[in-house]
C-alpha cells in the first residue's frame, strides 16, 4: 500500500518520492494519520476503509475550492485514491503548534471573513442549477460528510428551505432512527422559515465544521484551517460553530467583525445553526446530546 501511495505522489508532483520514514500522527476522530517523508520532503497521509474514498474526494475538492479564494491558509491536497482495503488522501505537511498571541488569531478572523466574501467569476464555480434563470444559491456540487455522518448538499435557492430540509430535518430523521426523542421537532421544522423570514444571507464558501480542533497556527505564526465540510451557505454557520466548543480568541472575533460585521439577529440564529452540530453529535455519540438538543429547540421556539 505505501509503495502505491508513494508512486501516486511521484506521479502527481513529477518528483520521485520514496517513503524513508513513516510515523503515526493524529488524523482526527475517524481517520488514521501518518507523517511520511524522505530526506527532503514530508507529507501528511490519512487512511480509512476503501469504502470511504468519497469522503476523501470531497475533502480534497473542498480544500481546493478554499485554496482558490487565495485567502486563508489550508493544506494543499496532493492526491487521493484507494490501495488494497484502504482509502487515502495525501496533503501538504504543515508544522502546526505555533502560538504567537493575538496576532495570528486576528489574522485568522480577517482571512476567514475574506474567504466568506469571496465570489468566483461565473458564480459558484460548480454546477449549481438554475431556476427561472437564477442560480441556486446554497449547497454544493456533491454531498460530503460532517464527521462521519453524510452531509446533504442539494442545491437550493432558499436558505431557510436548505437549512430546514438538508441540515436540521436530515439530522432529526437520523436521530429518530437512532431512538432519539425530540418532541418539538415538527414544530421546529415548520417554524424555521418564519425564524429566518426576511433574512437573505449572501452565499459564502464555508468551512462547515469550524471547531477549535480544525484550526491552528503554524510554527511560522500563520493561521490555518483544515478538515472542512465545505458548501455554499450562510457565513454565520462558521462563526456560530467557533463559539460552540470554544478555542477561538477575542482577537479572532474582533478582527472578523472589523472586516465584515455580522448582521443583526446573529445571536438568535447561531442557536439554530449550532443545533445542527449537537444533533450530529447525538447521532455520532449518543449520550447527553439528546437533552442538549431539546433544550436548544426549546430556546429557539421560545
The set of catalytic residues is 209
The number of helices, as runs of H, and strands, as runs of E, in the chain is 10, 13
The answer for residues whose C-beta is within 8 angstroms of residue 234's C-beta and 6 or more apart is 138, 159, 163, 201, 204, 206, 269, 273
- Residue 147 Rama label (left phi>0; alpha psi -120 to 50; beta): left
With residues binned 3-state (H G I as helix, E B as strand, rest as coil), the percentages for the chain, rounded to 5, are 45, 20, 35
Strand-pair partners of 149:
146
Q: C-alpha grid cell for residue 148?
A: 462521519
State the Cα–Cα distance between residues 229 and 146, nearest whole angstrom: 6
CB 48 within 8 A of CB 30: yes
Amino acid at each position: 500500500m505505501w509503495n502505491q501511495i508513494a508512486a501516486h505522489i511521484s506521479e502527481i508532483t513529477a518528483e520521485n518520492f520514496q517513503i524513508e520514514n513513516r510515523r503515526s500522527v493524529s488524523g482526527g476522530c475517524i481517520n488514521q494519520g501518518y507523517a511520511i517523508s524522505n530526506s527532503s520532503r514530508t507529507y501528511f497521509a490519512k487512511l480509512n476503509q476503501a469504502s470511504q474514498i468519497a469522503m476523501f474526494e470531497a475533502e480534497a475538492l473542498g480544500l481546493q475550492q478554499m485554496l482558490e479564494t487565495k485567502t486563508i491558509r489550508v493544506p494543499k491536497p496532493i492526491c487521493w485514491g484507494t490501495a488494497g482495503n484502504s482509502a487515502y488522501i495525501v496533503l501538504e505537511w504543515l508544522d502546526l503548534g505555533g502560538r504567537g498571541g493575538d496576532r495570528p488569531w486576528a489574522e485568522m478572523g480577517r482571512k476567514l471573513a475574506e474567504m466568506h466574501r469571496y465570489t468566483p467569476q461565473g458564480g459558484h464555480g460548480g454546477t449549481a442549477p438554475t431556476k427561472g434563470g437564477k442560480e441556486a444559491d446554497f449547497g454544493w456540487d456533491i454531498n460530503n460528510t460532517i464527521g462521519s455522518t453524510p452531509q446533504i448538499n442539494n442545491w437550493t435557492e432558499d436558505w431557510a428551505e436548505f437549512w430546514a430540509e438538508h441540515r436540521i430535518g436530515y439530522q432529526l430523521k437520523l436521530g429518530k432512527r437512532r431512538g432519539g426523542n425530540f418532541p418539538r421537532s415538527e414544530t421546529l421544522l415548520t417554524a424555521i422559515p418564519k425564524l429566518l423570514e426576511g433574512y437573505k444571507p449572501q452565499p459564502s464558501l464555508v468551512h462547515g465544521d469550524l471547531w477549535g480542533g480544525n484550526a491552528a497556527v503554524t510554527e511560522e505564526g500563520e493561521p490555518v484551517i483544515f478538515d472542512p465540510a465545505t458548501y455554499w451557505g450562510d457565513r454565520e454557520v462558521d462563526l456560530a460553530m467557533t463559539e460552540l466548543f470554544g478555542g477561538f480568541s477575542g482577537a479572532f472575533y474582533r478582527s472578523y467583525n472589523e472586516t465584515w460585521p455580522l448582521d443583526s439577529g446573529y445571536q438568535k440564529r447561531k442557536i439554530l445553526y449550532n443545533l445542527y452540530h449537537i444533533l450530529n453529535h447525538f447521532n455520532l455519540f449518543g449520550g447527553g446530546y439528546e437533552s442538549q438538543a431539546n433544550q436548544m429547540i426549546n430556546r429557539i421556539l421560545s
